[in-house]
Amino acid sequence: MTLMHKHTLKTAQLIAAGVAAMLALSGCSAGGSIQPEAGAKQVKGGTVSYGHQQEPACVFGGWIEQAYLSYQVLDNLVSLDDNHTIVPWLAETWQASDDQLTWTFTLKEGVSFTDGTPVNAEAIAYNFDYWAAGGNSTAAVWLGGYYESAEALDELTVQVNLAKPYPLFAENLTQAYFGIQSKQALETRTEEENCASPIGSGAFTVGEWNRGENIELLRNDDYTSPPANARHDGAAYVEKVDWKFISDATTRVSALRAGEADAIYDVPAIEWAGIGEQGYDQLKYVTPGRPQQISFNTARGIFTDENLRKAFVYSLDRESIVDTIGKGVIPYEGNGAVSRTTPGYSEKAADAYSFDLEKANQLLDAAGWTERDDDGYRVKDGKRLDVLFPYSGGTIINADGASILQGVQQQAKAAGFNVDLIPIPPSAAASGKYSGVDGYDISVGYWTSVNAGIQYINWRQNLPESPNNWNSAFYNDPQLEDIIVRANSAADLDEQNALYAEAQEYIADRALSVGLYDRLSTLAVNPHLKDVWQESAQGGPVFHDAYFVE
């Protein structure tokens, strides 16, 4: 035995050493002076090679990966700036009626889509209907229950009619799900064409799409409609963005180091520090909205009992797990409803629970889960304390996330929970196999949003007449819904935030959902490429202002 160990070990270490040496080599080659010397001047044009992670089937759609992509091609009515204020984009001005039910947007003049047709009120109105009809599934969800109709008052004025007051309406429109497309294109072109290369008025147009490899974004030379928070007017500086799809995180980082990519998306925590030391610019955006959180199935199974939910939460030292795996890059998030960057975020809700194994055990004993089996799992009248915990690996939960969940599993074990951690293959996940009330005891996931209004989507009751499958806790509580609806409709910002906070604390008190970590959108950029920034609605990269220096 030992003999063989030594052997394996030696050879293994040899290999490891060899590899290490190679890496050292690479370190030097990439680690040198990548910084441009001071006062390096801007060069015209050029192609940005950008390494993104996942490749959507279509450019425009309800998936955040699509939002990031379509943002380059489509303009929205309004944009969100760093101070979280709504600024003009295609719409110069906008206002809501006093009853908050009708919104009018006045458009910039002389803007036209890249197919030559004008960006006019008619087109805007058409887009609203298009989204609501499912043209963008996520936009449809945002509009659901509020949107009634949109009409062109004149060439440049469009009026949107809502069913309920919706102060956050404009704010929500800053998400790329609400990118404006050419009416003509939507009407006349095939679904395939609109999928592969939507026609907007954006800074870039879709060039060639080599599926599985990259998608070319070509500069729109006649670009006249950058958002107010853009850093310059007119067409983008760079001629082209080579939007590569590199699913493997390490490969992305290596590509950046090897100079094969000027910028990459989603830097794994383990690489973050090193990248920084090597002098790459690092952008980090904590997406507002629902953080990576776990919500309990309150309709079926053990977690219908509030005390067991609490026991589970107390058994976790979420902060230490996240800090270790997250290497201090991924921020711990205690709040289960919204992330720290969301307006109306409640610290109180975030701090509601901290690691307390004592309490966890007390609660469990009290609940009658007194015995333990040989593996240390709690048992009650012959039934083991099993927790069904499926998660969609790869897509919603990345590698770091998976490690964190394993941490959760380990810590919950100490309290006697047997957490059955099941990575769901994408097809099964998408099929909703694990999304039903029998699908899980705990579900994990995030939902980016520009404001706490997300709670309306996640916590509105799931009723036969108005189903809401996004209520992942299966928690039907008119009281909670009422708080959220009032918040959504509150005209005054402070009042609104207060109500949102109340909702978060309501959720925390009942341990319906607790946070794990904030979802990040990170970028690493070669310093020779300047002025790449992350838009504030969802943290996608913006290349309109980007330029190279040498």
Partner 1 sequence: MTRTLSSRPADAATAARRPILSPRVRRIVEKLVAAAVVLWGAATAAFLAQIALPGDRATTILNVRSGQTQLRTPEELASINAEYGLQNPILVQYLDYVGGLLRGDLGVSYQQHRPVWGIISEQVGATLTLTAVTLVLAWVLMIFWVTLTAGRGTKIRALGSGVDTVTAGLPPYWLGILLLLVFALGLGWFPVIGGTGVDGIVLPALTLAIPLAGFMGQATRTEFERSLTAPFIITARMRGMSDLNIRLRHVLRHAILPAVTLSGWAIGATISGAVIVESLFTRPGIGSVLITAVDSQDLPVVTGVVVLVAATYVVANLLVDLAYTVIDPRMRNS
Partner 2 sequence: MTGVLERTVAPVQRRRRVRVGFLASAVTIGVFLAAAVTPHVLAPSDPFTMDFTRALQSPSLAHWFGTDESGRDLFSRVIYGARESLAIGVGAAGLGVLVALVLGSIAALAGRILAGIVNRVIEVLFAFPTLLLALLLVSILGSSPLTLVIAVGLGSAPGYARMVRGQILSSKNSGYVEAARALGHARFTIFRRHILPNALRPLIAIFTMGVGQSIVWASGMAFIGLGVAPPSPEWGALLDAGRAYITQASWLIVLPGFVIVVLALAATTLGKHIQSSLEKGDA
Query: Can you give the binding site for partner 1, defined by CB under 8 A?
Result: 15, 18-19, 21-23, 25-26, 29, 51, 55, 57-58, 61-66, 134, 137-138, 190-192, 195-196, 210-214, 244-248, 251, 254-255, 257-258, 260-261, 392, 395-396, 424-436, 445, 467, 469-470
Output 4 or 133, the one with its CB closest to partner 2. Answer: 4
Q: Is 235 exposed, middle or buried (0-12, 13-18, 19+ CB in 10 A)?
A: middle
For the CB of residue 14, give the shortest distance to partner 1 in the complex, in Å: 12
Piece of 120-128, 177-185, 281-289, 404-412 that binds partner 2 (CB under 8 A) = 404-412
Strand partners, 422: 390
Give the one entry of partner 1, partner 2, none that residue 74 binds, where binding means its C-beta sits below a cut-off of 5 to 8 angstroms depending on kind.
none
Q: How many residues bind partner 2 (CB under 8 A)?
A: 44
- Interface pick for partner 2 out of 144, 145, 394, 439 (rule CB under 8 A): 394
Classify residue 513 by its DSSP letter: E
DSSP SS3 for 405 = helix
At its nearest, how many Å lie between partner 2 and the CB of residue 393?
A: 7
Decide whether 194 or 315 has the Cβ nearer to partner 1.
Answer: 194
3-state secondary structure of 170: helix
Please pick, from the candidates 333, 400, 477, 535, the single residue that binds partner 2 as defined by CB under 8 A.
400
| DSSP per position, 350-366 | HTS----HHHHHHHHHH
Which C-beta is closer to partner 2: that of 339 or that of 522? 522
In this complex, which beta carbon is closest to partner 1, that of residue 8 or of residue 137? 137
Residue 213 binds: one of partner 2, partner 1, none (C-beta under 5 to 8 A by kind): partner 1
- Binds 423: which of partner 1, partner 2, none (CB < 5-8 Å by kind): partner 2
Q: Within 10 A of 96 (CB to CB), how many other CB atoms are there?
A: 18
| 473 contacts: CB under 8 Å, gap ≥ 6 | 295, 296, 297, 298, 299, 459, 512, 513
Which is closer to partner 1, CB of 45 or CB of 134?
A: 134
DSSP characters for 276-332?
HHTT-EEEEEE--EEEEEEEE-SSSSGGGSHHHHHHHHHT--HHHHHHHHHTTTSPB
422 is in the binding site of which of partner 1, partner 2, none (Cβ under 5 to 8 A by kind)?
partner 2
Residues 6 or more apart in contact with residue 115 via CB below 8 angstroms: 182, 184, 185, 199
Q: Answer yes or no: are the C-beta atoms of 346 and 501 closer than 8 Å.
A: yes
For residues 233 and 336, give the distance between their C-alpha atoms in angstroms, rounded to a whole number. Answer: 40
Structure tokens of 350? 């975030």
Binding partner of residue 11 among partner 2, partner 1, none, CB under 5 to 8 Å per kind? Answer: partner 2
Residue that is written with structure tokens 């800053």 in the block: 174
In Å, how far from its chain's centre is CA 504? 19
What is the closest distance, in whole angstroms, from the C-beta atom of residue 391 to partner 2 in the complex?
10
For residues 437 and 387, is the Cβ–Cβ distance under 8 A?
Answer: no
CB 447 within 8 A of CB 458: yes
- Does position 525 interact with partner 2 (CB under 8 A)? The reply is no
As measured in angstroms, the least distance from the Cβ of 19 to partner 2 is 5
Tell me the closest approach of the beta carbon of residue 192 to partner 1, in angstroms.
Answer: 4
Minimum distance from CB of 427 to partner 1 (Å)? 5
CB of 209 to partner 1, least distance (A): 10
Pairing state between β 289-296 and 513-517: antiparallel
Q: Phi and psi at residue 291, in whole multiples of 5°?
A: -80, 180
Nearest distance, CB of residue 413 and partner 1, angstroms: 26
CA dihedral 294, 299, 305, 311 (to 10 degrees): -10
- Minimum distance, C-beta of residue 114 to partner 1, in the bound complex (Å): 20
Q: How far is the CB of 433 from partner 2 (least distance, A)?
A: 9
Interaction of residue 54 with partner 2, rule CB under 8 A: no
Q: Which partner, partner 1, partner 2, none, binds residue 64 by CB below 5 to 8 Å per kind?
A: partner 1
Residues 415-454 that bind partner 2 (CB under 8 A): 421-425, 427-428
- 272-276's contacts with Cβ under 8 Å and 24+ in sequence apart are 272/327, 272/329, 272/522, 273/327, 273/329, 275/524
Contact 549, 530 (CB under 8 A): yes
For residue 399, the partner it binds in partner 2, partner 1, none, with Cβ less than 5 to 8 A by kind, is partner 2
- Please provide the size of the chain in residues: 550
What type of residue is 122?
E
Which CA distances in Å does 194 have to 60, 67, 137, 259, 456?
Answer: 8, 15, 15, 33, 31
What is the smallest separation between the CB atom of 207 and partner 1, expressed in angstroms? 15
Q: Is 171 in the site for partner 2 (CB under 8 A)?
A: no
When asked if residue 383 is in the footprint of partner 2 (CB under 8 A), the reply is no
Q: Binding marks (x or -) toward partner 2, 6..45, rule CB under 8 A?
A: --xx-xxx-xx--xx--x----------------------
β-strands 386-391, 418-423: how paired?
parallel
What is the smallest separation between the CB atom of 297 and partner 1, expressed in angstroms? 13
Q: Which of residues 237-296 bind partner 2 (CB under 8 A)?
A: 248-250, 253-254, 268, 270-271, 274
Given candidates 61, 301, 407, 416, which one binds partner 2 under the rule CB under 8 A? 407
At 486, phi and psi to the nearest 5? -60, -40
Residue 4: which of partner 2, partner 1, none does it interact with, CB under 5 to 8 A by kind? partner 2
Q: Which residues bind partner 2 (CB under 8 A)?
A: 1, 4-5, 8-9, 11-13, 15-16, 19-20, 23, 248-250, 253-254, 268, 270-271, 274, 320-321, 323-325, 393-394, 399-400, 402-403, 406-407, 409-410, 421-425, 427-428
